[in-house]
Amino acid sequence: MMKHLLLALLLTGGLTAGLASAQELGITLKLDAKGRQPEQVAAQGRVDKPAWLGVSFYPYGTQNVLQDGTHQVLQVPVGRFEHSFQVADRFVGGGVEAALWEKKVPAAQCTGPCEWCKKNGYHLENQILYTYGSLARSAGSAKAK
């Protein structure tokens, strides 16, 4: 059984940002040994200038992405990149988002009232690319009664 599932096609920066560039972003889902439940998400792509990768996980039925989600951010250098993130059990059945951003702004430099900065100590600006996927269990993964 296939243990890796491509969740999103690679997108080019030209399609999302309206610019001609060689930037790409995709996410791949790695399933558990039985091929039924997501256990890891890999974000991969390419950037033509340093950028920030933001990855967020949400449980099923999320109403408030800031409060209910888990958000991770890291800087990616020019060129190809791939970073893996574990999927916590509480997010199985929920969703994942990944985005590339131009800037990370510390809360001390934020110019307005910003709930994101209040909670996380920073916010990201100037989105370059965005993709998302579902963390659903595959068929046959329900526990036997």
60-69 residue pLDDT tens: 999 998 889 9
Average of per-residue pLDDT values in the chain: 84
Residue type present at position 85: F
Higher per-residue confidence, 79 vs 112: 79
Fold exhibited by the domain 4-134? Immunoglobulin-like (2.60.40)
Answer with the residue of higher pLDDT: 4 or 133. Answer: 133
Place of tokens 């890891």: 40
Strand partners, 27: 43
Instruction: Report whether 54 contacts 30 (CB < 8 A).
Output: no
Task: Identify residue 10 by its one-letter amino acid code.
Answer: L
Distance CA 117, CA 114 (A): 5
Segment 28-45 shows an average pLDDT of: 91
- In eight-state DSSP terms, residue 21 is -
Q: How many CB atoms are located within 10 Å of the residue 122 CB?
A: 19
* pLDDT digits 0-9 by tens, 49-106: 999 999 999 999 999 988 899 999 999 999 999 999 999 999 999 999 999 999 999 9
Q: Contact, 53 vs 94, CB < 8 A?
A: no
At residue 143, does pLDDT exceed 70? Answer: no
Q: For the chain, give the percent of residues with pLDDT over 70.
A: 81
Are 122 and 83 in contact, with CB atoms under 8 Å apart? no
* Domain boundaries of the chain, sorted by first residue: 4-134
Task: Read off the tokens for 6.
Answer: 């491509």
d(CA 54, CA 57): 10
